[in-house]
């Protein structure tokens, strides 16, 4: 049914695209006041409040339950957040790190962990609390998106922007789980909003925008070559247009660097292989096993070949909306709904032709930054180039407005199209998708672990095959997450964890593939197991096995 609706709505949107292009209309003051898009203040407020309530409610419904289980990267941020909340260190004991250790061969941005630490301080540790920062930051980004579009194009387009972001699949999905990369587009959007206000209204807002851009550097590693790219372009462009001066640029640079210098210095330390720098208020770490440079075009063995691959990935991810990882989109809906792209085309063409008193150029600079990200980041997917999605939504909203104001009955037609597809998407998310996504978030691992922990055995053997054969690090971080493990216990400084005394961490927890040899070797020990469901065959009748989906808790009878 979804495919049928997609095809039907795509045909309609292409027909609307052709009609608008043939009419050769642009956004102007006359169209802003068009009779086909009249709305009084009371109706506007009612519609806006209704949109906000619906948008927030669908994001809150069964929040913390769907997606079931927990993503390993989110669990890692939570474990480090718990350590930061308790001790001011990451789980390894590093004092106030500017950047996190992650999986050893890579690195992880730190802002999410610090936000989680703050929420743990206020609400204590739980999966829902750990997911709250992403939800609230996403809602904040949506509000900035609405305000930005209203400031530039007026309240009617602002209302459309609120509607579009409320029902957008990408925005909805990423708000409900935890990944540090998904903070970036929202902080970037906040920076855009205040930068626009600073350029068009009061200059002090430019300095506020630098706070958001500075914090963006701690959201995702690609910020090192995307945020400066955007800021340099913007500074040069508006200096040439004489809308900002050298003094304002220098003050902005100072504010930006005041916030972002620890992250920038961390990247320099790792690029030049300097030693770790420990300061009283921050630690700049060197990660000896980092391979993150392999993700950047300019460090590729064949730059030309990789550029072509990246271009294809960029097109597939944005325009074609090809199927991405299960946690980034729902099959059949894409990131923007497939029939949105014709409206995006209308928006780009319309905005490129029109002259406005308001400032439209930030949108094109943001688009250029998104394209730059896609071309310079190898093998991009949705979360790797999520900085572009607010910009795509901007053009989509402009295009939808063009159609609604230039074609009779289009306002009702397009609204009904999006409401129908949104209802189908929400229904899919909370039913069939909810049943499918759990296996990717290790659903049942936490229940199995809690069961064996309650058995009170001295040792626990945990499958290393949760993510794939031999991925012990994933099982370890999930164990630490569900166990709310004390960082001091993990580091071996104490045998006390959550108020109870155990064997030292490395003696109590063992992460390895479960085989008959492992079971035979440990059969005389005081031990319990967390295993994959497929490993049940190795245990005889001397063991009690409790199923939790893909995982099982195993104890001796």
User: Quick one: pLDDT at residue 164?
Assistant: 98
Does 453 lie in the same domain as 482?
yes
Does 417 lie in the same domain as 543?
no
What proportion of the chain, given as a percentage, has pLDDT over 70?
96
Cα separation, 197 vs 151, in Å, equals 8
| Average pLDDT value over all residues in the chain | 93
User: Quick one: pLDDT at residue 557?
Assistant: 86
The mean pLDDT of 449-471, rounded to a whole number, is 94
Cis before 67? omega within 30: yes
Does 159 lie in the same domain as 136?
yes
Q: If you ran DSSP here, which 8-state letter would residue 203 be given?
A: T
Does 187 lie in the same domain as 76?
yes
- Identify the residue with better confidence: 301 or 231: 231
Give the residue from 399, 414, 436 where a domain finishes. 436
Check pLDDT > 90 for residue 342.
Answer: yes
User: Quick one: pLDDT at residue 1?
Assistant: 79
User: Quick one: pLDDT at residue 230?
Assistant: 98
Does 89 lie in the same domain as 200?
yes
Question: Per-residue pLDDT tens for 72-104?
Answer: 999 999 999 999 999 999 999 999 999 999 887
Q: Looking at the 3D structure of the chain, how many domains does it have?
A: 2
The mean pLDDT of 525-532, rounded to a whole number, is 96
Instruction: Please give the biggest Cα pair distance in the chain.
Output: 84
Query: Global pTM?
Result: 0.95
Check pLDDT > 80 for residue 38.
Answer: no
| Rounded (5°) CA angle 359-362-364 | 115
| Rounded (5°) CA angle 130-135-140 | 135
Does 458 lie in the same domain as 413?
no
Does 409 lie in the same domain as 541?
no
pLDDT band at 27 (very low <50, low <70, confident <90, very high): low
Does 453 lie in the same domain as 421?
no
| SS3 call for 66 | coil
Return phi, psi of residue 553, to 5°. -100, 130
Question: What contacts 24+ positions apart, CB below 8 Å, involve 305-309?
Answer: 306/378, 307/375, 309/378, 309/379
The mean pLDDT of 9-13, rounded to a whole number, is 93
pLDDT band at 415 (very low <50, low <70, confident <90, very high): very high
Listed range (34-43, 197-206, 441-450, 525-534) with the worst mean pLDDT? 34-43
pLDDT band at 355 (very low <50, low <70, confident <90, very high): low
pLDDT band at 265 (very low <50, low <70, confident <90, very high): very high
Domain around 323 = 2-436
Does 262 lie in the same domain as 188?
yes
Give the residue from 436, 456, 481 where a domain finishes. 436
Alpha carbon distances (Å) from 477 to 109, 442, 471:
17, 12, 11
Does 455 lie in the same domain as 432?
no
Does 406 lie in the same domain as 520?
no
Give the residue from 436, 454, 471 where a domain finishes. 436
Cα separation, 500 vs 167, in Å, equals 47
Question: What contacts 24+ positions apart, CB below 8 Å, involve 234-240?
Answer: 234/195, 234/362, 234/365, 237/361, 237/365, 238/199
Does 505 lie in the same domain as 384?
no
């Amino acid at each position: 049914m979804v495919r049928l609706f997609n095809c039907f709505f795509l045909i309609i949107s292409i027909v609307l695209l052709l009609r608008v292009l043939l009419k050769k209309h642009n956004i102007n003051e006359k169209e802003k006041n068009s009779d086909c898009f009249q709305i009084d203040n009371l109706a506007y407020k009612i519609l806006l409040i209704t949109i906000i309530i619906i948008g927030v409610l669908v994001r809150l419904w069964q929040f913390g339950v769907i997606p079931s289980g927990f993503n390993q990267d989110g669990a890692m941020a939570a474990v480090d957040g718990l350590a930061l909340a308790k001790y001011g260190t990451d789980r390894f004991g590093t004092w106030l790190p500017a950047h996190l250790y992650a999986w050893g061969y890579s690195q992880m941005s730190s802002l999410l962990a610090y936000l989680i630490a703050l929420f743990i301080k206020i609400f204590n540790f739980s999966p829902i609390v750990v997911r709250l920062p992403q939800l609230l930051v996403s809602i904040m980004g949506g509000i900035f998106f609405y305000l930005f579009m209203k400031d530039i194009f007026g309240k009617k387009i602002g209302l459309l922007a609120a509607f579009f972001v409320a029902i957008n699949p990408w925005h909805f999905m990423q708000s409900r789980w935890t990944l540090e990369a998904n903070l970036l587009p929202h902080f970037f959007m906040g920076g855009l909003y205040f930068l626009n206000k600073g350029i068009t209204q009061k200059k002090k807002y430019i300095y506020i925008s630098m706070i958001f851009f500075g914090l963006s550097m701690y959201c995702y590693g690609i910020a090192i070559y995307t945020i400066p790219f955007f800021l340099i372009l913007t500074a040069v462009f508006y200096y040439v247009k004489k809308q900002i001066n050298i003094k304002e640029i220098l003050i902005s640079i100072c504010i930006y660097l005041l916030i972002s210098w620890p992250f920038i210095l961390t990247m320099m330390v790792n690029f030049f292989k300097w030693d770790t720098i420990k300061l009283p208020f921050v630690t700049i770490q060197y990660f000896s096993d980092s391979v993150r440079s392999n993700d950047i075009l300019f460090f590729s063995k064949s730059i030309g070949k990789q550029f072509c691959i990246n271009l294809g990935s960029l097109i597939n991810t944005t325009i074609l909306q090809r199927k991405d990882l299960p946690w980034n989109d729902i099959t059949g809906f894409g990131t923007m709904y497939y029939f949105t792209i014709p409206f995006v085309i209308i928006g780009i063409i319309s905005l490129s032709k029109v002259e406005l008193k308001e400032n439209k150029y930030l949108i094109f600079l943001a688009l250029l930054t998104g394209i730059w990200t896609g071309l310079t980041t190898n093998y991009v997917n949705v979360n790797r180039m999520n900085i572009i999605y607010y910009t795509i939504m901007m053009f989509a909203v402009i295009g939808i407005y063009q159609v609604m104001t230039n074609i009779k009955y289009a306002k009702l037609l397009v609204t009904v199209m999006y409401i129908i597809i949104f209802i189908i998407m929400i229904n899919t998310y909370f039913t069939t998708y909810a049943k499918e996504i759990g296996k990717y978030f290790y659903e049942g691992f936490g229940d199995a672990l809690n069961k064996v922990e309650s058995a009170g055995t001295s040792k626990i053997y945990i499958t290393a095959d949760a993510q794939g054969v031999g991925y012990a690090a994933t099982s370890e971080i999930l164990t630490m997450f569900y166990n709310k493990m004390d960082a001091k216990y993990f580091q071996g400084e104490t045998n006390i964890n959550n108020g109870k005394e155990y064997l030292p961490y490395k003696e109590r927890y063992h992460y390895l593939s479960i085989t008959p040899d492992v079971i035979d070797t440990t059969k005389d020990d005081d031990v319990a197991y967390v295993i994959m469901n497929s490993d049940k065959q190795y245990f005889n009748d001397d063991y009690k096995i409790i199923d939790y989906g893909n995982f099982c808790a195993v104890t001796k009878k």
